[in-house]
Structure 1
Amino acid sequence: MRANKLPTEEIRREPAAFADRITADGRFGRTAEPGRYRLVISRACPWAHRVVMTRRLMGLEGAVSLAVTDPVQEIIEDDPHWVFTERTGSPDGRDPVLGIHALREAYLARDPGYDGGVSVPGMVDVPSGHLVSNDYDQLSVDMATEWGPLAREGAPDLYPVALREEIDTVSARVYQDLNNGVYRSGFAPDQDRYDRAVAAVFARLDALEERLTDRRYLVGEHITLADLRLWATLVRFDAVYHGHFKCNRRKLVEYPALWAYARDLFQTPGFGDTTEFEHIRVHYYRVHTAINPTGVVAVGPDPRGWLTEHGRESLGGSPFGEGSPPGPAPEDERVPPLAEQG
C-alpha cells in the first residue's frame, strides 16, 4: 500500500512478484556463485531483516554483497521507492555496484512492463542488473539450506529437516497474528478491524510468553528460522509498533519471558549487530504520513536496555547447536554502537 495514502481497506500482502530460487546445484536455473548476487535491503524493514540475519549467521557476506537503501523512501510518480543516498554510502545517489538509484530499476530490468509494488529485500543478479527475487521467506530458507560450500564452517542448521513442520506451523501463526498483525493494526481502516487485529497481536504475544517461559528458543534447542521470523518483529515492537501502530495494550518490556528472550537473541551475533534503531524509527515515523502526518520521529525508547542481563542460559540449549558463532561483521556493514542509536 502507499504509505502516504489513507487506508480504505485492510492491508493485504501480495505474493512475491519475482521468486527465482538460487541453489548450489542450480536445479531451478540459478546457481549460487560468489560475487554473482547483491542483496538490497532496508535496515528498517523486518522482512529484509530476516534475510540479513540469515546471511550473517550462515557466513555468506563474502558470497553475497549487501546494498542498504535510505530508510526514507523517495516519492517517484506518487509511489514510495527504496533509493540509495549519501546517508547509506552512495554520495552520488547510486549504488556503487549496481549503478541504480532506485531498486525499482532492477525490477524494470527484469520486466520492462512491470507496474506492481517494489519491496525489500531484493536479490539482484549483478551482471544483468535483473531482480532475481523479492520473496523474503524463500530467500531465507534457501540461504539457510541451499548455498552449500559457500556457507561458513560452523554455520548453524537454521532449518533442520526433523523440525521443519513445527517451524513452519509456529511461523505461520506468528506471521498471521503478529508479523503481519501489527501492520493490520496500524493501517486498520476502521475501529472494528483495528479491534480484531490488535486483539490477535496480543493473543499471540500472550501465547508466546507462555511458550517461552520454560524454553530458550521457539523450536528445538538452538536458533532456527522460527526465531528469526519472530525476533524481527519483537525488536521493532516498543520502538515503533507500540505507539506508531497503536499496539499499546502492553510493551514488550512488560512480558518477562519474551523480553528476556528478545535480549538473549539481541546479544547473540547476527541479531543485534544487524539492527539499526535509527533507521527503524526514521522510516516508520517519516514514511507513514497517513498515520503520522507531521513526520515527527519519536525519540525512544532508550535502546541500551537491550544489553541488560537476560538469564536465559539457565533454560539450556545453545544458540548455534553443534555450530559456532559468526565472526565480526564486515567493517563496511557494521551498524553504529547502541549508545549512538538512542
Structure 2
Amino acid sequence: MLKNKKILVTGADGFIGSHLTEELVRQGHEVRAFVFYNSFNSWGWLDYSEKSIKDSLDIFAGDIRDPHGVKTAMQGCDIVLHLAALIAIPYSYHSPDSYVDTNIKGTLNILQAARELEVEKIVHTSTSEVYGTAKYVPIDENHPLQGQSPYSATKIGADQMAMAFFRSFRTPVAIIRPFNTYGPRQSARAVIPTIITQIANGINNIKLGALHPTRDFNYIKDTVSGFLAVAASEQSVGEVINIGSNYEISIGETVEVIAEAMKTKVNIISDDMRVRPDKSEVERLWADNAKAFNLTGWKPQYAGKDGFKRGIQETIAWFTNPTNLKQYKADIYNI
C-alpha cells in the first residue's frame, strides 16, 4: 500500500517521528516532513540525520494547530502518519489548555483536511496512557479508556475524533497505540533516558519518581516497524491497534537492568517533583499485541527480558556517546 505513495509525517522532528521519517526514506519512499515552525530554522532531530536523508526530504515547517497550514502540508500527499502532539504528562498538569489545542484540535485539522483532500489513509498516533491503570492484563484494544492525566484525556479525545470521522464520513483512519517507546533521542523527561543520563554523568544518587509501577517498554525500532505495518495494512482501517512487547517490568527493575548494563551501582532518591498525584499515576501497563500480528503481521523483535536488555544496550550506546550526551541536562528535571 505504501509503494509509489507520497507520505506526510507530522511530528517528524520528534523522537519517534524522526526515526520513522528516516526509515521511510531508507525504504525509498517520498516523504514530506512536517516540523514545528521556529525562528531557529531547526528541524529537531532531523538536523542530525544523514545528509543523504535530509537531502531527500520535503520539509514543511508549520503548526499542527493551524488548519490552513495543515491542509497546505497535506496537499499532494497520499498517506498521513500523524504523530505531532504534546506528550509530557507533568507539563499537562501545568498547561492543559495547550494539550487540548495541540492534541485534539490538531488531530481535527488533520481529519478535516484529509476528508476534503480525499487522502487515501491516515495513521493516527494514540498512546497506552489512554488505558490508565490496567483493569486486566494483558491490555487488549477493548480495555476501558481512563483519562488519568490531562495528557491522556486529550489523547482519548483525539482518538475518539478520529474514529468519529471514520464512522461518520468513512475517512480512512487507522489508530496505532504504541506502549512506552524508548531508545536513542528520547527526551530525558522519560524514565529510561533520565536514568541513563544521570549515570553517564557520574551521578550515583539517581532521582526518580515512583518505582513500583510497571510498563511495557517498546524499543524504537519495533515502534517504527509497527507504524509501517499499520500504514501498509488495508485491514487496519477503522481499527485501533496496540504496538507493545507483551512484557511488563517495574521502574525499579528497569533501574537495575540499566545499572547492570552500565556496570555501576546506584542509590535511588525519591524526588517529589517526579511523583504523579496518586490518582493520576498509571500503576500497570502490559500490552496484548495479538491484534497487531493478526491484522498486519507485526511482531516485536525486542520482546521479553532478553529483548529489553538488547534495546537498553543500544540505547545506552547512543546516550553515552559524548556528542549525544552533551545535549541533555541530566541535573535538571524537565517536565
- Band the TM-score falls in, shorter-chain normalisation: 0.3 to 0.5
User: What TM-score do the two structures reach when normalised by structure 1?
Assistant: 0.32
User: What TM-score do the two structures reach when normalised by structure 2?
Assistant: 0.33
Structure number with higher strand proportion: 2
